[in-house]
A and B are shown apart, each in its own frame.
Chain A
Amino acid sequence: MWLFVTRRLAVLLLTLLVVSVFAFLIPYLSDGDPALLVLRSRVADFQVDQAAVEALRQQLGLDRSLLAQYLGWLNAALHGDFGYSYTSRAPVIDQIGRALLVSITLAMSALGIAIVIAVPLGTAAATRPGGPIDTAATFITQTLVAIPEYWMAPMGILVFALYLGWLPSAGWDGMSSLVLPAMVLALRPLAYFTRVTRAAMIDVLQAPYITAARSRGLGMTQTVLRHGVRNGAIPVVTLFALWLAGLLGGSVVVEVIFAIPGMGRLIYEAVINKDIPVLQASFVAIVALSVLINTLADILYAVLNPMVRMAHAHA
Chain B
Amino acid sequence: MIAPAAIGTEMRPAVNLQPVAAPGAEPLLAIEGLKVRIGTGARPVIDGLDLEIRRGEVVALVGESGSGKSLTALSVLRLLPPSVSITSGSVCFGGDDVGAMRPAALNALRGGRIGMIFQQPLAMLDPTCRVGDQVAESLRIHRGLSREAAMERVVALFREVGIPAPETRLRCYAHELSGGMAQRVMIAAALSADPDLLIADEPTTALDVTVQAQILRLLDEQRRKRNMAVLLITHDLAVVAALSERVAVMYAGRLVEEGPTREVLNAPRHPYTKALIRCSLLQRDETGALISIPGGAASARDIAAGCRFQPRCSVAATSEHAHACCSAEPSLECCSGQHKARCWSVNAAPTMPAVEHSA
Instruction: State the A residues within 8 Å of B (CB).
Output: 128, 206-209, 211-220, 226-227, 230-231, 234, 304-307, 310
Contacts and interface: CB of A to CB of B under 8 A. Distances in A.
Interface string B181-218: 00000100110010000000000000000000000000
Interface stretch (B117-125, B233-241, B287-295, B348-356): B117-125
A226 B138 CA distance: 13
B111 interface: yes
A234 B129 CA distance: 13
B120 A214 contact: no
Contact of A215 (B103, B104, B111): B111
Nearest first, the 9 closest Cβ-Cβ pairs linking A and B are A217-B111, A216-B111, A212-B124, A208-B123, A306-B173, A216-B138, A215-B116, A217-B110, A209-B126
B175 A231 contact: no
Given A214-B110, A215-B111, A217-B108, A307 B141 contact: no
Contacts of A226: 129, 137
B127 A217 contact: no
B302 interface: no
A307 B127 contact: yes
Contacts of A212: 116, 118, 124-125, 186
Give the secondary structure class of A's interface.
helix
B124 A209 contact: yes
Nearest to A217: B111
A129 B186 CA distance: 30
Given A209-B124, A310-B176, A215 B110 contact: yes
Interface in B88-119: 103-104, 107-112, 115-116, 118
Interface in B159-177: 173-176
Nearest to B135: A216
B142 interface: yes
A213 B193 CA distance: 14
A300 to B, nearest CB: 13
B118 to A, nearest CB: 6
Interface in B286-309: none
Contacts of A230: 126, 128-129
B141 A214 contact: no
Interface residues of B, number: 37
A215 B187 CA distance: 12
B7 interface: no
Given A216-B110, A307-B175, A227 B103 contact: no
Given A216-B189, A217-B138, A219-B103, A306 B128 contact: yes
A27 B118 CA distance: 65
Contacts of A128: 82
A1 to B, nearest CB: 12
Contacts of A214: 77, 79, 110
Given A209-B127, A305-B127, A306-B127, A217 B107 contact: yes
Contacts of B126: 209, 213, 227, 230-231
Nearest to B189: A216
A306 B174 CA distance: 9
Interface string B59-99: 00000000000000010010101100000000000000000
Contacts of A215: 77, 79, 110-111, 115-116
A68 B55 CA distance: 86
Given A211-B79, A310-B175, A217 B142 contact: yes
B129 A227 contact: yes
B134 interface: yes
A220 B129 CA distance: 17
Contact of B118 (A206, A208, A219): A208
Contacts of A208: 118, 120, 123-124
Given A208-B120, A212-B118, A310-B176, A219 B107 contact: yes
Find the residue from B74, B107, B115, B142 having the highest chain A CB count within 10 A: B107
B127 A218 contact: no
A212 B190 CA distance: 10
B181 to A, nearest CB: 16
Contacts of B81: 206
B117 to A, nearest CB: 9
Nearest to B193: A217
B52 to A, nearest CB: 22
Given A215-B111, A310-B173, 16 more contacts: A208-B118, A208-B123, A211-B74, A212-B118, A213-B126, A214-B77, A215-B116, A217-B112, A218-B107, A218-B111, A219-B104, A219-B107, A230-B128, A231-B126, A231-B128, A307-B175
Contacts of B79: 211, 214-215
B40 to A, nearest CB: 13
A231 B134 CA distance: 14
Contacts of A307: 127, 173, 175
Interface in B259-288: none
Nearest to B82: A128
Contacts of B129: 226-227, 230
Find the residue from A206, A209, A231 having the highest chain B CB count within 10 A: A209
Nearest to A205: B82
Find the residue from B107, B126, B175 having the highest chain A CB count within 10 A: B126
Nearest to A229: B128
Nearest to B81: A206
A230 B173 CA distance: 14
Interface in B219-249: none
B175 A218 contact: no
A217 B141 CA distance: 7
Find the residue from A209, A216, A218, A234 having the highest chain B CB count within 10 A: A216
B61 to A, nearest CB: 17
25 contacts: A206-B81, A208-B124, A211-B124, A212-B116, A212-B118, A212-B124, A212-B125, A212-B186, A213-B126, A213-B137, A214-B110, A215-B77, A215-B110, A215-B115, A215-B116, A217-B138, A218-B107, A220-B103, A226-B137, A230-B126, A230-B128, A305-B127, A305-B128, A306-B127, A310-B173
